[in-house]
Amino acid sequence: MMGGMVSEQTRTTSSSFRVPVEDEPRSPVAPRAWAARLLVVAIVLAALNLRPAITSLGALLEEVRDGLGMSGSVAGLLTSVPPLCFAAFGVMAPRLARRFGPGAVVCAGMAAVTAGLILRPYLAGTAGFLAASALALMGIAVGNVLMPVIVKRHFPDRVGSMTGLYSMALALGTSAAAAVTVPMTEALGGSWRTGLAVWAGLAAAAVLPWLPLVRDRRTEPGGATTATRSAGPAGEPQDRRAAQGPGERPGERLEQPLGERETRGTRVARSRQGARVPRPAVHDHAHDPTRGSHPSGAALRVTRSRTAWALAVFFGLQATAAYISMGWMPQIFRDAGVSASTAGVLLAVTMAMGVPLAFVIPRVATRLPHQGPIVVALGACGLVGYAGLYLAPAAGAWAWAVLLGISGCAFPLALTMVGLRARTGAGVAQLSAFAQSAGYLISIPGPLLVGVLYQHSGGWGLPLALMAALMIPQTAVGVLAGRDRTVEDEAAAR
């Protein structure tokens, strides 16, 4: 339901998670297949951990408020912390990925999630709780931004299906945390602190599959680092120069994406032992789409694109709806007379709608020239769901949960449009970072404002009216973002 999910210098980080082809003399296919499967597992486990820190808190928000002495306004601030952290830390992800590699950054992010979830229930006071939450959310933020670029780079021909898998895992983790946190807390003795801390175990498991990928990035066979191998003639190892074909230039990268059998634009020669010796074709770099949006090779200025701004606003408004739902929906149902455990399950139903739909919607979206009809359908479901929560919150609770869950699939749609609205890997990296960082900034006031309106009005009429009203501009900008065009072309034309 969220959020997704980037490095703005994809070319400089493209060695991450890549296997050097010339070091595979016997069986070039098996190591790549093993590494690709490991990467898929790593992506899925990371995605499972991108929302439990938020939805587990939403299920126990009343208990946390009582335990820490929070007012409604402070609780609203607490529910605004996720988008604030995503905006602040997400913008750092491209620079970190360029320096350390996306794998290392995501691995460190999962470690930060683990530490934050362990610490936050046991640090004294509201300030300590907020600080530890920010640590966990910092790790989630870099995962949000870097997942789309990892998918684009290593599975370029399967962007829709891999985005769907990643989004489905994210929705599964979100719904599972909402559904089982309350009963698990009761089974573990009834302490909300234990109920929140237990999710650190899942985050710790997500660290493990990224560790081999970090090692692959930093040290290649023979002890040379990836950076050294691609440094050019001065820092180039002798085996790389010896392996060059007659049409290659010194410093040319010879690695392949894990999700591809053969690199695009590369001619592959077979030696007598069956080893693959790539010979890159000579490109006209003035028209090479991997070098940026402008023929001169200048950096893409994504802020010049109207589509980029439309996508950022769309991302921000869907994130506003998502964090309001994750933070406040259980309380809406509890105030209507629904039990705490049932309210958590209702939130889980809302999140769980993203499990099948997060796989279906990206695949459908990639086959359409314009994603506007999907945006309109999701917006209509949201409007009906909010109206139902106002008119009959308890009587139609299950129907409203389902409708709002369908509406929440604007998140995987937004991630898919990030991949569709950029023509190059570098464009996807920059667009993802811009759309998510700007979008999360836009979403910060929403949960806080809902908390303030709830406290001062004494009911849910005004907050629900606000949520329904925001669905209208979300639909409008989503239709604009869904048009068949790329940010590179728009930026170059201005």
Quick: pLDDT tens for 71-122: 777 888 787 888 888 888 887 888 888 888 888 899 999 999 999 999 999 9
Question: Regarding predicted confidence, which is higher, 463 or 98?
Answer: 463
- Measured distance between the N- and C-terminal CA atoms of the chain, rounded to whole angstroms: 34
How would residue 336 be classed by pLDDT, with cut points 50, 70 and 90? Answer: very high
> pLDDT at residue 298 above 70?
no
How would residue 187 be classed by pLDDT, with cut points 50, 70 and 90? Answer: very high
Going by C-beta distance under 8 Å and a sequence separation of 6 or more, which residues neighbour residue 429? 6, 7, 8, 9, 10, 94, 149, 152
H-run or E-run covering 261: none
Cα 93 from Cα 131, distance rounded (Å): 20
How far from chain centre, in Å, is Cα 130?
Answer: 22
* pLDDT for the residue 373: 96
Alpha helices in 27-124 (DSSP H): 29-48, 52-59, 61-68, 72-90, 93-100, 102-119
Per-residue burial over 359-394, b if 16 or more Cβ lie within 10 Å, else e, is: bebbebbbeeeebbebbeebbebbbbbbebbbeebe
| Both tokens assigned to 157 | 């021909």
How would residue 394 be classed by pLDDT, with cut points 50, 70 and 90? Answer: very high
The mean pLDDT of the chain is: 77
How would residue 267 be classed by pLDDT, with cut points 50, 70 and 90? Answer: very low
> pLDDT at residue 374 above 90?
yes
| Both tokens assigned to 492 | 């170059």
Question: Regarding predicted confidence, which is higher, 124 or 292?
Answer: 124
> pLDDT at residue 406 above 70?
yes
Cα 74 from Cα 67, distance rounded (Å): 13
The pLDDT of 394-414, averaged and rounded, is: 94
* pLDDT for the residue 299: 65
Cα 480 from Cα 417, distance rounded (Å): 11
CA-closest candidate to residue 479, choices 310, 302, 304: 310
| Residue recorded with tokens 């933070």 | 327
Angle at 34 between CA 245 and CA 105, to 5 degrees: 85
CA-closest candidate to residue 81, choices 126, 145, 112: 126
Question: Regarding predicted confidence, which is higher, 445 or 149?
Answer: 445
H-run or E-run covering 350: helix 340-352
* pLDDT for the residue 370: 93
Cα 71 from Cα 253, distance rounded (Å): 57
For the ranges 147-161, 266-280, 405-419, the lowest mean pLDDT is seen at 266-280
For the ranges 28-42, 130-144, 207-221, the lowest mean pLDDT is seen at 207-221
Cα 80 from Cα 231, distance rounded (Å): 43
Cα 334 from Cα 316, distance rounded (Å): 27
Q: Are 409 and 361 in contact (CB under 8 A)?
A: yes
Cα 48 from Cα 70, distance rounded (Å): 29
The pLDDT of 422-430, averaged and rounded, is: 80
CA-closest candidate to residue 287, choices 279, 296, 274: 296
* pLDDT for the residue 478: 96
Residue type, 261: R
> pLDDT at residue 223 above 60?
no
Cα 254 from Cα 237, distance rounded (Å): 13
Q: Which residues pair with 19 in a beta bridge?
A: 256
For the ranges 133-137, 235-239, 326-330, the lowest mean pLDDT is seen at 235-239
> pLDDT at residue 329 above 50?
yes
pLDDT tens digit sequence for 62-85: 888 888 888 777 888 787 888 888
Pairing of strands 266-270, 19-20: unpaired
* pLDDT for the residue 215: 61
Q: Are 105 and 22 in contact (CB under 8 A)?
A: no
How would residue 225 be classed by pLDDT, with cut points 50, 70 and 90? Answer: very low
Compute, in degrees rounded to 10, the torsion defined by CA atoms 28, 31, 34, 35.
-110
The pLDDT of 366-386, averaged and rounded, is: 95
* pLDDT for the residue 307: 93
The pLDDT of 406-418, averaged and rounded, is: 91
The pLDDT of 208-213, averaged and rounded, is: 87
Cα 419 from Cα 486, distance rounded (Å): 10
> pLDDT at residue 445 above 80?
yes
| Both tokens assigned to 145 | 């931004």
> pLDDT at residue 36 above 60?
yes
* pLDDT for the residue 317: 96
| Whole-Å CA distances, 264 to 12, 157, 253, 295 | 18, 11, 13, 20
Going by C-beta distance under 8 Å and a sequence separation of 6 or more, which residues neighbour residue 326? 1, 51, 54, 55, 58, 79, 174, 178, 347, 351
If you write DSSP's letter for every residue of 143-199 in order, what string do you get? HHHHHHHHHHHH-TT-HHHHHHHHHHHHHHHHHHHHHHHHHHHHHTTS-HHHHHHTT
> pLDDT at residue 131 above 50?
yes
Share of the chain above pLDDT 90, in %: 35
Going by C-beta distance under 8 Å and a sequence separation of 6 or more, which residues neighbour residue 85? 133, 134, 137, 138, 140, 141
